[in-house]
Structure 1
Amino acid sequence: MPRTHATTLRALAALLAYPDDDLRAALPEIAQALRAERRWDARQKAGLQALVDELGQGELLEVQARYVELFDHGRATSLNLFEHVHGDDRQRGPAMLELMERYQRVGLQLAGVELPDHLPVLLEYLSCCEPAETPQLIGECAHVLRALGQALAQRGSRHAAVPAALLALAGQKGLDAHVPAAAPEDLDRDWEERPAFEPPAGRPQPLTVHRVKQAID
């Protein structure tokens, strides 16, 4: 597996993680990994660098408070992908179990406190797979990533650069800064009947997630 591809995905996963001292210490290495990615244009790299700079500035407690307010207080910006599809509906439980069963079938175990559908977990899993898996899986959940990125952009969050970068890696349509984000309840209603992942017709959905060490190796 090309080292650059794996490092890129781990760097993006790190930018979506809860900010702490370890993340701040790794920011120079993360920034270097993002600059080395050749599949992004200058605008996309500038957006990611702005996020890196923001995470490294100010009091850590303030950065952490912004993170919690952004990702933990609303479905529209949740990093748990099934939250956008099922919300608190009881269908979410079986979807989680299905993911866990897929992990077990390939001998993978989920460590830590994150749920199986947590976006950073998916990215870290993809960093352990062949590069061809990335456009496939990212493409299957592109509608969720696009709505997440749009919601983040409308809140003025530099974290919107991460979904935008992922969509670019998969060759998908990016964010549209000129279209106002719908209200959270409208997003929820629009997604209720849509699967989180849309596999190509006639092909089984091969989603498996594994929590790996978050360091940028």
Structure 2
Amino acid sequence: MANALKIVSLLLSYPSAELQAARDELQAAIAADPLTGRKEKALLLALVEDLCGRDLYDAEERYVLLFDRTRTLSLHLFEHVHGESRDRGQAMVDLAVMYEGQGFDIAAHEMPDYLPLFLEYLSTQSAEEVHNLLGQTLHILSALRTRLQKKGSIYANAFLVLEAIAGTKADRQTLDELLELPEDDPTDLKALDAIWEEEAVTFGGGAGNDACGPDRLRTQLRAHKRPAPQPELGGDL
């Protein structure tokens, strides 16, 4: 399982010459992984072949259009959580503290909720913890897989493997709520800039008041069910 999570983490990262040069190593690691079945191995091998056989600039452009310019396909988990910016920032802090508590260090510029980083962390954890935390994010992973399949993207393979590793199904109602969000146009940069500015994440504030770890993660990943806060009447808007 750890190998599979590390492999998916690499394949969902920004394409690089180093990744393409590692085709043989990736293929060997997939073939040797004892905890993925034949179907999951085939899905991962197909994604490796696509990424490593494609022109690097083409692979990079595709990645940016999919994951960086399409908010509903963002690989930042908390980007799919529609709560207050302060809540999302606190969730980031909590996740970073959880990493630190397990001796998993991240660079200052890395966002804790970036899926490849999250998967790398999970690859160091017990099977029980993997199933626990993957299960809590499963509605997001399933929504991403569904959207990628609609686009005919081979990146959906990675999410099919994650769903198989999780060994359970996403809550249907929560998944449907995510899928109801309108798709973004990755070529409409003006609209995207407005969205990012409106949904900016703020770090800090309130750290240490709540317990960190899986329970807090679950709370934040369900936060989109809460209505957005309304401004107080009679005050400054």
| Aligned match of 1:8 | 4
| Aligned match of 2:66 | 70
| Aligned match of 2:81 | 85
**Does the Cα contact within 8 Å between 1:75 and 1:184 map onto a contact in 2?**
no
Q: CA RMSD in A?
A: 2.8
In structure 2, distance between residues paired with 1:134 and 1:79: 18
Q: What secondary structure is seen at the aligned counterpart in 1 of 2:13?
A: coil
| Aligned match of 1:129 | 125
* 1:17 maps onto 2:44 in alignment: no
Q: What secondary structure is seen at the aligned counterpart in 1 of 2:215?
A: coil
Query: How many aligned positions are there?
Result: 183
Identical amino acids, percent of aligned pairs: 40
- Which amino acid in 1 is paired with 2:79? E
**Does the Cα contact within 8 Å between 1:145 and 1:163 map onto a contact in 2?**
yes
In structure 2, distance between residues paired with 1:119 and 1:67: 14
- Which amino acid in 1 is paired with 2:134? I
Report Cα offsets for 1:113-139 as digits up to 9, x if no partner. 431001111111111122222111111
- 1:73 deviation in Å? 0.8
- Which amino acid in 2 is paired with 1:82? F
Higher helix share: 2
**Does the Cα contact within 8 Å between 1:149 and 1:160 map onto a contact in 2?**
yes
Call closer, same or farther: CA 1:105–1:39 in 2, change over 3 Å.
Answer: closer
| Aligned match of 1:153 | 149
| Aligned match of 2:182 | 185
In structure 2, distance between residues paired with 1:112 and 1:18: 18
In structure 2, distance between residues paired with 1:44 and 1:108: 27
Q: What secondary structure is seen at the aligned counterpart in 1 of 2:21?
A: helix
In structure 2, distance between residues paired with 1:90 and 1:134: 27
Flag structure 1 segments of 5+ consecutive residues without an equivalent.
Answer: 188-202, 208-217
| Aligned match of 2:97 | 101
In structure 2, distance between residues paired with 1:50 and 1:119: 20
- 1:173 deviation in Å? 3.0
- Which amino acid in 2 is paired with 1:19? P
Q: What secondary structure is seen at the aligned counterpart in 1 of 2:127?
A: coil
| Aligned match of 1:52 | 48
- Which amino acid in 2 is paired with 1:54? D
Call closer, same or farther: CA 1:114–1:204 in 2, change over 3 Å.
Answer: closer
In structure 1, distance between residues paired with 2:148 and 2:83: 18
**Does the Cα contact within 8 Å between 1:19 and 1:64 map onto a contact in 2?**
yes
In structure 2, distance between residues paired with 1:15 and 1:129: 20
